[in-house]
Amino acid sequence: MLPCEALNGSSELEDAPQPLKCFAVHTRTKSSPKWEEVSIMDEKNIPIRTYQVCNVLEPSQNNWLRTDWIPRSGAQRVYVEVKFTLRDCNSLPGVTGTCKETFNLYYHESNEDRESYIKESSFIKVDTVAADESFTQVDVGDRIMKLNTEVRDVKVTTKKGFYLAFQDVGACIALVSVRVFYKTCPLTIRNLATFPDTVTGADTSSLVEVRGSCVNRSEEREEPKMYCGADGEWLVPIGGCFCSPGYEERGGACKACTAGFYKARSVDPACAKCPPHSYSLRDGATVCDCHTGYFRADSDPASMSCTQPPSAPQQLISVVNETSVVLEWAPPRRLGGRSDAIYSVECLICKSSGRRSISNSQTCLPCGSDVLFSPSQLGLRTTRVVVSELKAHTRYTFTVHARNGVSRASGAGSAPSVSVSVTTNQAAPSPVSMIQVLDVTRHSLLLSWQQPDRPNGVILEYEVKFYEKDQKERSYRIMRTFSQTVDVTGLSPLTVYVFHVRARTAAGYGDFSSPFEFSTNSDPFPLIGEGVNSAFLLLRAAKNIYITYGAVQLIYSHSSLLSSLLSLLLPTGVKIYVDPFTYEDPDQAIHDFAKEIDVSSIHIEKVIGMGEFGEVCSGRLRLQGKREIYVAIKSLKAGYSDKQRRDFLSEASIMGQFDHPNIIRLEGVVTRCKPLMIITEYMENGSLDAFLRKHDGQFTVIQLVGMLRGIASGMKYLSDMNYVHRDLAARNILVNSNLVCKVSDFGLSRVLEDDPEAAYTARVGHIPIRWTAPEAITYRKFTTSSDVWSYGIVMWEVVSYGERPYWDMNNQDVMKAVEEGYRLPAPMDCPVVLHQLMLDCWERERAERPSFSQILNMLDKLIRNPGTLQVCVSVVPEACVPEWSVYEWLQSIGLEIYRETFAAAGYNNLESLLALTHQ
Ligand code: ACK
């Protein structure tokens, strides 16, 4: 066997070194092999086997020595290292020119490992191998054998293996060893990627591209690649891997982070110590857990300390400016280690619910969506917010909550907060947004407008300013009116006028509306129109007439023409109620007082209740040239009798005669098709009794008095028109979205058959006993004064938030008690002045009861001086305002002259006043 040395970065070919065999290669000359296998001693005197040839004396030598078949084993370029000795021709005595000093190296690729006979021509020459120069210098006589080492490489790519062959052409050679190997780039790890042992390419310049694979616990950063060069060197590393989270690179491998350390992302260079307020107990942590009481938000990086929710905001202060409040606060004392504190403002309207409870507990409701927060209500980064569009005279509680990124993670229920309660001041009403013209003549314009969006109190009157457009504001006129309509007369024909309207409450005037322009026309003024309608219009336009109910009955019962003529004789300005039952033809009444509406302009939406004659629905009405409005629709159910039809329509005939902001407005009737309908304005909050019960304790006294004022104003209007309602009760008052109360439920026969409260009495028929004055119960004496009695009961219902008058006493007991002088006591927290007014309405002698006009004046006075409402008749002494003296209380009700009398009688403090009774 030939000796063999292993070389770094190279591989010996399988089965190499191969035993060289001296065997025949098919040659053109001789066939006998000249190579001989000879044992010699090497330099160290170790015996080795060699192949030798030395036919230097004979010419034309061609001696072949070939290896066995060598499998290629994937190699593409193999290296052949030959160790040999060669005799210097000059050192050989007697040698002629035939002596050579080289031999040739050949190869032959083959899939066969058993080719016994290979033609010489099948071999391809690799090179002519010469001995080293130094070797030619041989010490003559001493014959030191010089070992030459020559390496040649050859590309072998076509077959599974190859043969090597050595051709001697007349030299004196001894082949000591032949080592055949190929080169690989050795397995290596670069940038945390493993590159396998790779065989080099076929050519000396070829680079083999190799893809690496990430080491354990690592992940690819960018595809790891390297090139294996022909000499077995790795070149141009690209890409690589990162250690996975929880692991870091140590010595080319990925090792787990130890306890107390973590690595969150593969791109992080190394494990890091756990941030403050966190820990990791096990190796390989990707994140550290927070200590108890500390938290991490979803968006917090793992490198961030664990933090805490903030404490409550501090030093909340409020500055009220009419109906706006500025809230300012200081940041929480503890921010929890974060800088992302945000604030939200909660707004509640709170009412003391002390009416039935001894404690001062509060009922709070969220403020409506119409309240504005600037810059915003939620997610505030600033410590200041302006809250506007609040209701006037209303108590609000604002709570400022502080939160930060870990408030939710902490799982704490509500965020720490600070609260403040404020009461808004009076505010002037907002401007009227739109003025419409209802009727135009040569000299007049009939205008109407909606109540301002934010009345901020009870509207006491409207001021209408107008001027000729050409005159600008150089000369203008002012008109004041209580209603939302005004008939502006005395105008010049065909002239453009500019109108502004503003509203006034106890807080003063609001701003004027923007200008609206209307022109008078040149139509002739209808002096006497046809029928009652025009006569009635004239009556409405007239000023300062007074006519009795009976007189009008007489006129209308005879002839509408007569009444028209009479009306011309009357002084101007008075509106008189006309009993539709005095008409010979009831249809005439309905057409005189109500507008016929085409059913196609009504869009019914839903049923809202049941009336005596059928369903009550809500819906929309769009009349030509007018904007769409919400309406209530009462219909007459099928199968009605003549009487029912007449009774049903009588309500419209009555309502159609009224035009007042506190009387339900008739929009019109449908009589030309079935079912018959009565269309009225829509009152969003339904009937007053149910509305108050629903909002028990939620209004200020001023708001309650505002409602009562509206009802009193409507009743004054009705009484001025000589109309007696007979069934005034909170259930027959409707409330709109602005809390405006309007008297409803008119009709004649219904008095009082459709009222579930009306009890049948043998003497006077159906009577709502609890609401009715004794003289009306006893001998049917229904007058405005009996309406005043009912109004007193309504006052009691309102202040007690819909309580049933006389609670569960039966009608008999109520009549008896009232007869004996018993009167309803003041409801909880009822101002003394209001209860006094109720008692006045319940005077036995009807002549001693106040008129609606007096009631209205009284309520206006109270609204203008809210201080007078501060003293309450209450079973809870603390519900009264403590700082008031008896004198101040007497002053507030205009009775300060009795100061001495009260003192003499021992009434020295407010508590002693609680014992006072009406008597
Ligand atoms: O208490 P409510 O909701 O108010 O239930 C009754 C029901 O119809 C039967 O009368 C309601 N209602 C009557 N007229 C109107 C109206 N103009 N606007 C709104 N609701 C009305 C009443």
649-666: average pLDDT? 94
Helix, strand, or coil here: 173?
A: strand
Phi then psi for 719, rounded to 5 degrees?
-70, -35
What's the gap in Å between 745 CA and the centre of ligand 1?
Answer: 10
What's the gap in Å between 632 CA and the centre of ligand 1?
Answer: 7
Q: What pLDDT digit, counting tens, does each position of 558-581 carry? A: 334 333 433 433 334 456 888 888
**Confidence (pLDDT) at 765:** 60
Mutate which of 604, 608, 733, 797 for ligand 1 pocket (most atoms within 8 A of beta carbon): 608
Mutate which of 604, 630, 683 for ligand 1 pocket (most atoms within 8 A of beta carbon): 683
What's the gap in Å between 750 CA and the centre of ligand 1?
Answer: 16
526-534: average pLDDT? 31
The DSSP bridge pattern shows strands 741-743 and 733-735 to be antiparallel
Q: What pLDDT digit, counting tens, does each position of 893-904 carry? A: 656 677 777 777
Tokens of 49: 């086997």
Q: Is 632 in the pocket of ligand 1 (CB under 6 A)?
A: yes
State the closest ligand 1 atom to the C-alpha of 664, by its place in the atom list counted from 1.
Answer: 17
512-530: average pLDDT? 63
Alpha-carbon gap, residue 535 to 541, rounded angstroms? 10
**Confidence (pLDDT) at 188:** 96
pLDDT band at 530 (very low <50, low <70, confident <90, very high): very low
Which of 659, 662, 660, 655 shows the shortest CA–CA distance to 710? 662
Mutate which of 631, 679, 681, 687 for ligand 1 pocket (most atoms within 8 A of beta carbon): 687
112 marked among binding-site residues: no
Percent of the chain topping pLDDT 70? 82
What's the gap in Å between 609 CA and the centre of ligand 1?
Answer: 6
Q: Is 611 in the pocket of ligand 1 (CB under 6 A)?
A: yes
Q: What b/e string do you get for 27-38 counting C-beta neighbours within 10 Å, with b at 16 or more?
A: eeeeeebbbeee
What's the gap in Å between 369 CA and the centre of ligand 1?
Answer: 25
Beta bridge partners of 181: 12, 79
**Confidence (pLDDT) at 872:** 66
Alpha-carbon gap, residue 919 to 912, rounded angstroms? 16
Answer whether residue 125 shows pLDDT above 90.
Answer: yes
740 marked among binding-site residues: no
Answer whether residue 499 shows pLDDT above 80.
Answer: yes
State the closest ligand 1 atom to the C-alpha of 683, by its place in the atom list counted from 1.
Answer: 18
**Confidence (pLDDT) at 383:** 96
610 marked among binding-site residues: yes
What's the gap in Å between 608 CA and the centre of ligand 1?
Answer: 7
Q: Is 687 in the pocket of ligand 1 (CB under 6 A)?
A: yes
648 marked among binding-site residues: no
**Confidence (pLDDT) at 569:** 37
The amino acid at residue 898 is Y
What's the gap in Å between 837 CA and the centre of ligand 1?
Answer: 29
Number of Cβ within a 10 Å radius of residue 697 = 19
Cα 380–Cα 381–Cα 386 angle in degrees, nearest 5: 50
651-659: average pLDDT? 94
State the closest ligand 1 atom to the C-alpha of 610, by its place in the atom list counted from 1.
Answer: 9
**Confidence (pLDDT) at 284:** 96
Q: Is 680 in the pocket of ligand 1 (CB under 6 A)?
A: yes
Answer whether residue 140 shows pLDDT above 70.
Answer: no
Cα 73–Cα 77–Cα 80 angle in degrees, nearest 5: 95
Alpha-carbon gap, residue 380 to 175, rounded angstroms? 94
For ligand 1, atom 10, the nearest C-alpha belongs to 611
pLDDT band at 787 (very low <50, low <70, confident <90, very high): very high
Q: What pLDDT digit, counting tens, does each position of 401-426 carry? A: 999 999 988 887 778 999 999 988 87
State the closest ligand 1 atom to the C-alpha of 616, by its place in the atom list counted from 1.
Answer: 8
Q: What pLDDT digit, counting tens, does each position of 477-490 carry? A: 999 888 888 889 98
Q: Is 686 in the pocket of ligand 1 (CB under 6 A)?
A: yes
Q: Which of 352-356, 522-526, 597-601 has the highest mean pLDDT?
A: 597-601
State the closest ligand 1 atom to the C-alpha of 682, by its place in the atom list counted from 1.
Answer: 18
Q: Is 616 in the pocket of ligand 1 (CB under 6 A)?
A: yes
Long-range contacts of 643-649 (CB under 8 A, 24+ apart): 643/749, 644/613, 645/676, 646/586, 647/613, 647/747, 647/748, 647/749, 647/750, 648/613, 648/676, 648/678, 649/586, 649/589, 649/590, 649/594, 649/676, 649/678
For ligand 1, atom 20, the nearest C-alpha belongs to 686
Answer whether residue 96 shows pLDDT above 90.
Answer: no
Q: Is 690 in the pocket of ligand 1 (CB under 6 A)?
A: yes
Which of 225, 140, 230 shows the shortest CA–CA distance to 182? 230
State the closest ligand 1 atom to the C-alpha of 680, by its place in the atom list counted from 1.
Answer: 17
Alpha-carbon gap, residue 614 to 387, rounded angstroms? 46
For ligand 1, atom 2, the nearest C-alpha belongs to 686
Q: Is 682 in the pocket of ligand 1 (CB under 6 A)?
A: yes
516-541: average pLDDT? 46
612 marked among binding-site residues: yes
Mean pLDDT of the chain, nearest integer:
83
DSSP 471: G
What's the gap in Å between 732 CA and the centre of ligand 1?
Answer: 9
What's the gap in Å between 714 CA and the centre of ligand 1?
Answer: 18
State the closest ligand 1 atom to the C-alpha of 608, by its place in the atom list counted from 1.
Answer: 8
Q: What pLDDT digit, counting tens, does each position of 834-878 carry? A: 999 999 999 999 999 999 999 999 998 887 777 788 766 644 444
What's the gap in Å between 585 CA and the centre of ligand 1?
Answer: 29
Which of 180, 188, 181, 179 shows the shortest CA–CA distance to 228? 188
Alpha-carbon gap, residue 379 to 371, rounded angstroms? 17
Output the CA–CA distances (angstroms, integers) from residue 914 to 335, 807, 832, 918, in the order listed.
Answer: 52, 22, 10, 11
What's the gap in Å between 295 CA and the centre of ligand 1?
Answer: 55
Q: What pLDDT digit, counting tens, does each position of 293-333 carry? A: 999 999 999 999 999 999 999 999 999 988 899 999 999 99
DSSP 847: G
**Confidence (pLDDT) at 138:** 45
Q: Is 683 in the pocket of ligand 1 (CB under 6 A)?
A: yes
Answer whether residue 467 shows pLDDT above 70.
Answer: yes
Verify whether residue 727 is a known catalytic residue. Answer: yes
For ligand 1, atom 7, the nearest C-alpha belongs to 609
530 marked among binding-site residues: no
The DSSP bridge pattern shows strands 261-262 and 272-273 to be antiparallel
Mutate which of 616, 655, 663, 680 for ligand 1 pocket (most atoms within 8 A of beta carbon): 616
pLDDT band at 512 (very low <50, low <70, confident <90, very high): very high
721 marked among binding-site residues: no
Which of 441, 442, 443, 463 shows the shortest CA–CA distance to 452? 463
What's the gap in Å between 570 CA and the centre of ligand 1?
Answer: 38
State the closest ligand 1 atom to the C-alpha of 731, by its place in the atom list counted from 1.
Answer: 1
Answer whether residue 51 shows pLDDT above 90.
Answer: yes
658-668: average pLDDT? 94
Q: What pLDDT digit, counting tens, does each position of 204-224 carry? A: 888 999 999 999 999 999 999
Q: Which of 11-25, 126-140, 735-749 has the lowest mean pLDDT?
A: 11-25
**Confidence (pLDDT) at 353:** 56
For ligand 1, atom 4, the nearest C-alpha belongs to 686
For ligand 1, atom 12, the nearest C-alpha belongs to 686
pLDDT band at 906 (very low <50, low <70, confident <90, very high): confident
Say which of 727, 745, 787, 829 is annotated catalytic.
727
**Confidence (pLDDT) at 161:** 95
Q: What pLDDT digit, counting tens, does each position of 610-637 carry? A: 888 889 999 999 988 888 999 999 999 8
Alpha-carbon gap, residue 705 to 862, rounded angstroms? 8
609 marked among binding-site residues: yes
Tokens of 627: 């904007």
The amino acid at residue 574 is V
Query: Do residues 618 and 605 lie in contact, with contact meaning Cβ atoms separated by under 8 Å?
Result: yes
**Confidence (pLDDT) at 741:** 94
